[in-house]
Amino acid sequence: MELHAEQAGDTGIARWVLSQREIVIRDASVSWDDKQRGAPLLELPGFNFVLRNGFLGHRFAFKAKPSTELASALDVRGDLKRVDVGDPGACIGQVYAELEYTDLVAWRRWVDYPFDIRSGKGGVRLWLDLQGKTSSRLTADLALSQVAGRVAKDTPLLELDYLQGRLGASQHDGKEFEVFGSKLTLRTGTGIVVPPADFRVRWAPSGGEIDADGIELAPLARLAEYLPFPQAARARLAATEPRGSVRNLKADWTGDAEDPQHYSVRGGFARLASRAHDRIPGFAGLTGRFEASEKGGSVVLGSDRVAIELPGVVAESPLQFDSLAAQISWKVAPDRFDLAFDTLSFANSDIAGTLFGGFARGQGGASVIDLTGNFFHADGRTVYRYVPLLPGPVVEYLKASIQGGHSNDVRLRLKGELAKFPFDDPGSGIFQIVAKVTDADFRYAEGWPRASGLSGDLIFEGKSMRIIASKGAVLDVRASSVRASIPDLFHGDVRVGLEFRAEDKTSDFLRFIAESPVTKALDGMTESMSAAGAGRLALGLDIPIRNPETFKLAGEFQLIDNEIRTDSDAPPFSHLNGRLEFTESGITARALSARFLGGPATISVATRA
């Protein structure tokens, strides 16, 4: 039977075929000669066909055995409820086709694909739902291997080891479109694996919807270069390397998807991660759920083993947390953005506690923060990790100097415009950390005996740091007061000041001198001395952390009924009382009273280094 082009408008034979109750063809051979495409002759031997026409519609099925180059077998079935022979596009019904094995490229001579297919072999099952000219829906079950092609003209060639799952698309009136997938999975030739995922995207001029589940972000981000994304989006994905999974994602919008009038999105996520980029912090290990719209949104977090990346803000990034839980919400207005930390709790071996407060950005772009924190565990050795924006030398100093201490009562207050941090000018803002510390060790300067066993307050306030301790010791000298301060942590030549008051054995004070740079300043004059008795010390030090050898020293020592020998062979000065004053340059003493060689004596001392 030959069909000629000049007979294309003649529907008589088609009407006759559809008027028969049943037509059966067995073991036929069909040839398709497509003159318009200039394609080679398509031979379909072993053709078996059944058509049954009835009041409720037209059912047909045919099988054929094309050449092995094309497919192993072709199985097509249909159930058409309405057929208009004068307008085939108006058909209503369903058509099913199955190819147990096929070569997609071989069919390109007779079939136009929506993508540039270069290779692909495997099994395909297709369902085509027709609703006349108003709508259609195509569903495909795929089990393909060695697939290669381009999704768009200007994208690189995508090579897949396999592509499996269900993929489909539909349209309604040429205005509403839908793309969907079920248990869709693939692996590229470079080893990118997309685990089975479900999704549905519907869009129309009036708006659209997205539903997705089981979406793994890392492989999708790596596939971005093969997809028709804007270059800016590709660059951001490459820079941030998003990872983690998204569950039960639901989104909808009205208007243009690029600039929607209204939108809402909600879903859950697990192990969410992103690298820091363009002043946006990085993170890893976040698990929770979220809701968002053009007016604002909220996030609820409940995560374990979390990392927060704050490059340029804290000394060691990322910060690691064993647990992190939060309720965060935000509001968006035309000239303002407000972020609220309703609760934010976290814990690791360094620190544990809670934060609450808010952040706002106004029309002029100024960012203002108002944050309060309470912490029930803090390790003094790691304080340098959490104070923001410290210069490198200060970080190294705090890391080396605070070598012990613990607090179960730490309070944070941060309020003001972030651009003015640490709020040098009075009234510009508040930055304050107050920690009640116990058993702290403070190595205030290289070469000096450390202050140990300190109990008191560690305070960061504005640009300064202070330690105010009512208990502690230097070597074996028990202190009644230890005060240390760094007036300016953030600018210029950072210096540490130390004030030390103690009452103890004079022999321990001599040991302090011997084991500190003071002995060099005094030219070793106390090295051969020995003492019995007690005294009171008031000591002040000023030490630049970059050049600790250029320290300034001022102090006094009150001798109380001491016995001192200048060396082991010299007779002692007994019942020695009076006050010694000393600096980094020497010692001065006026009218010390003592007994020497059995009689009273008055002693004055003046030395210069």
pLDDT exceeds cutoff 90 at 315: no
- CB contact at 8 A, 559 and 532: no
Q: What is the pLDDT of residues 471-522, one digit of tens each?
A: 998 877 888 899 999 999 998 888 999 998 988 888 888 888 888 887 877 7
The 10 Å Cβ neighbour count of residue 9 is: 7
State the average pLDDT over residues 103-124: 89
pLDDT exceeds cutoff 80 at 146: yes
As given in the structure block, the two tokens for residue 276 are 């820091």
pLDDT exceeds cutoff 80 at 85: no
Please report which confidence band the pLDDT of residue 1 belongs to, taking 50, 70 and 90 as the band edges: very low
For 363-476, list the strands marked E by DSSP: 367-379, 406-417, 429-442, 451-461, 464-474
Q: What is the DSSP letter of 30?
A: E
pLDDT exceeds cutoff 70 at 2: no
pLDDT exceeds cutoff 60 at 330: yes
Higher pLDDT, 475 or 451: 451
Q: What is the DSSP letter of 226?
A: G
Identify which of 233-237, 370-374, 534-538, 539-543 has the greatest average pLDDT. Answer: 370-374
Query: How confident is the model at residue 7, as a pLDDT?
Result: 53
Query: How confident is the model at residue 69, as a pLDDT?
Result: 87
- CB contact at 8 A, 126 and 96: yes
In angstroms, the Cα distances linking 18 to 27, 81, 91, 154 are: 21, 12, 13, 46
As given in the structure block, the two tokens for residue 474 are 């230097």
Which residues on adjacent β-strands are paired with residue 113?
none
In sign, the C-alpha dihedral spanning 528, 534, 536, 540 is positive
Dist CA 328 CA 344 (whole Å): 8
As given in the structure block, the two tokens for residue 290 are 């979220």
Query: How confident is the model at residue 474, as a pLDDT?
Result: 85
Query: How confident is the model at residue 464, as a pLDDT?
Result: 93
Query: How confident is the model at residue 499, as a pLDDT?
Result: 93
Dist CA 59 CA 54 (whole Å): 8
DSSP 489-541: SSSSS-EEEEEEEEEEEHHHHHHHHHTSTHHHHTTTTTTT-EEEEEEEEEEEE
Q: What is the DSSP letter of 86?
A: T
Query: How confident is the model at residue 446, as a pLDDT?
Result: 82
Q: What is the pLDDT of residues 210-262, one digit of tens each?
A: 999 999 999 989 998 888 777 888 888 889 999 999 999 999 999 887 788 89
Helices (H), 201-277: 217-222, 231-240
In angstroms, the Cα distances linking 604 to 353, 578, 588, 601 are: 57, 10, 8, 10
pLDDT exceeds cutoff 90 at 63: yes
Q: Identify the three-state secondary structure at position 394.
A: helix
- CB contact at 8 A, 228 and 155: yes
When mean pLDDT is compared across 18-22, 271-275, 282-286, the lowest value belongs to 18-22
Q: What is the pLDDT of residues 539-580, one digit of tens each?
A: 899 999 888 888 898 989 899 999 999 888 889 999 999 998
- CB contact at 8 A, 295 and 262: no
Please report which confidence band the pLDDT of residue 270 belongs to, taking 50, 70 and 90 as the band edges: very high
Q: What is the DSSP letter of 449?
A: P
pLDDT exceeds cutoff 90 at 147: yes
As given in the structure block, the two tokens for residue 310 are 């704050």
Q: Tokens 């007061």 appear where?
A: 481
C-alpha closest to that of 51 among 63, 60, 62 = 60
345 backbone dihedrals φ, ψ, rounded to 5°: -120, 145
Q: Identify the three-state secondary structure at position 583.
A: strand
Amino acid identity, position 184: L
Q: What is the DSSP letter of 203?
A: E
CA 421 to chain centre: 24
C-alpha closest to that of 511 among 526, 490, 522 = 526
Contacts of 543 by beta carbon, 8 Å cutoff, 6+ apart: 444, 445, 448, 495, 496, 497, 498, 551, 552
When mean pLDDT is compared across 284-288, 427-431, 553-557, 585-589, the lowest value belongs to 585-589
What is the CB-side half-sphere exposure of residue 303 using CA atoms within 13 A? 30
Q: What is the DSSP letter of 71?
A: B
Identify which of 140-144, 219-223, 445-449, 506-510 has the greatest average pLDDT. Answer: 140-144
- pTM recorded for the entire structure: 0.78
Dist CA 39 CA 32 (whole Å): 9
DSSP 253-311: EES-SSS-SEEEEEEEEEEEEE--BTTBPEEEEEEEEEEEETTEEEEEEEEEEEEEE-T
pLDDT exceeds cutoff 90 at 325: yes
